[in-house]
Amino acid sequence: MDDKDRGAPPDLAPPKGTTDLLPPESWRVSRLARLAMDTFAGAGYGPVDTPIFEHTEIFERGVGATSEVVGKQMYTFTDRGGRSLTLRPELTAPVVRAVLAANLQRGPLPVKLAYAGPMFRQERPQKGRYRQFYQVGIEAMGSALPAVDAEVIEIGSRFLASAGVETTLLLNSIGHVDSSCRTGYLKLLVEYLEEQRDRLAPVDAERVHTNPLRVFDSKEEATRAALEGAPYITDHLCDDCAKHFESVRALLEDLGVGYELEPRLVRGLDYYTRTAFEFVDAGGQQGKAARLGSQNAFGGGGRYDGLAESLGGDALPGIGFALGLDRILIGAGGGPDDDVAGGPVNAYVVAIGAAAARPALSLATRLRASGLGVDLDLMGRSVKGQMKDAARSGARWAVILGDAEIASGESTLRDLTSGAESRVALEDLAGLLAP
């Protein structure tokens, strides 16, 4: 093919709202995801992995057609077989689907699962808001007891603290869909919003009948002002929901998890029932009102006691959360080891002279096979160049091989922090270098 037939070269930048994760940033992301999965595993949450795309109706029926996410942000496409598929914007509905598909709800309960992976939403990109972003999260399904709510929330707040972000936990109960509390309350709320209709921003006025609770999520100044005297769901909970909420709060106090009650917290997805919570940035200067925007939320979650049934399955109460890794990394800032490459490379094999190159590769391979992180030059660098590359690699040790060393079955081991050197027999290296 001629050059002119190839057309213009492709744009090498990743699509809008996405990024290429490369070292050292990619190290931070993978470490944080591992820390999350280990924390979750420590409480009995096993890993779950579902497809990146699902049948669109899983989100339409699970997350809810009136939610922003489903209504405006999904990457939906028709495949060659004419099926409507959607890149997952969140993982709660897919996880519940997977549990029902495998009939795990008939086995030992609760089913406790944890995940880490990319989600996709076509939002207007800005700092902390992307079209492909990374979540870690857990879901506990099968128990309606308040103890699960407390367990889940405590795990989220402990992980965020160990990730180095300062958060405030906002807590609310939005009642149960089937009980009189939510239905009765919605009537009151719609009446109030009707009275205030002239003061609401147009986008919120439209929601009054389609999704009145969501008006609390509004970022519009006019709407916020109009909501000043609005009735709160927490004042209208039925006895069961009120009791549940009270127990959750008492248990959180037992566990030493601090929270702020936020009666305007409604969350953006339609499946929520009862407990709803969000971990927001406590480090920023934003006031309480500004907090309710979603950008400063490191994560959130809640109960979804009706979700399994809306997917056509058996009744299966559940609760979980998802946390945005991208936002946590912004909030945590750079850690002490972020300046170096940060990889798990412990030693760098330096070859002096062309004859040492082959034994150097063999030595690096043997050390790797014994479980050590080892790097070496693959560019034919000078010794000086190799020493520089060793420093860049983040290795603690340089293992130097020259003619003299090879002849005696030894290497010169240099501590790259102190500069101290010693001769070490090759067979002793692995033991000495083990971190």
- Residues near ligand HAM (CB under 6 A) are 90-92, 121, 123, 128-130, 133, 135, 137, 139, 268-269, 297-302, 304, 320-324, 326-327
**In the complex, what is the shortest distance from the CB of residue 435 to ligand HAM, in angstroms, rounded to a whole number?**
34
| Cis upstream peptide for 110 (omega within 30°) | yes
Alpha-carbon distance 33 to 37, whole Å?
6
**In the complex, what is the shortest distance from the CB of residue 364 to ligand HAM, in angstroms, rounded to a whole number?**
39
What tokens does 115 get? 């995940």
Decide whether 115 or 397 has the Cβ nearer to ligand HAM: 115
Give the DSSP letter string of 92-150.
HHHHHHHHHHTTGGGSSS-EEEEEEEEEE-----BTTB-SEEEEEEEEEES---HHHHH
**In the complex, what is the shortest distance from the CB of residue 400 to ligand HAM, in angstroms, rounded to a whole number?**
46
Determine how many CB atoms are found less than 10 A away from the CB of residue 318.
Answer: 28
Alpha-carbon distance 186 to 14, whole Å?
44
CA distances from 247 to 17, 76, 156, 316 (A): 41, 41, 18, 20
Decide whether 171 or 269 has the Cβ nearer to ligand HAM: 269
**In the complex, what is the shortest distance from the CB of residue 64 to ligand HAM, in angstroms, rounded to a whole number?**
12
Q: Which residue is nearest to ligand HAM (CB)?
A: 324
What tokens does 118 get? 């990319």
User: For the stretch 230-268, what's the b/e string if a residue is b when 16 or more beta carbons lie within 10 angstroms of its beta carbon?
Assistant: bebbbebbbeebbebbeebbebbeeeebebeebbbbbbb
**In the complex, what is the shortest distance from the CB of residue 69 to ligand HAM, in angstroms, rounded to a whole number?**
7
Decide whether 311 or 390 has the Cβ nearer to ligand HAM: 311
Cβ–Cβ < 8 Å for 367, 430: yes
Decide whether 91 or 395 has the Cβ nearer to ligand HAM: 91
**In the complex, what is the shortest distance from the CB of residue 126 to ligand HAM, in angstroms, rounded to a whole number?**
9
Decide whether 305 or 405 has the Cβ nearer to ligand HAM: 305
Decide whether 128 or 212 has the Cβ nearer to ligand HAM: 128
**In the complex, what is the shortest distance from the CB of residue 304 to ligand HAM, in angstroms, rounded to a whole number?**
6
Decide whether 27 or 134 has the Cβ nearer to ligand HAM: 134
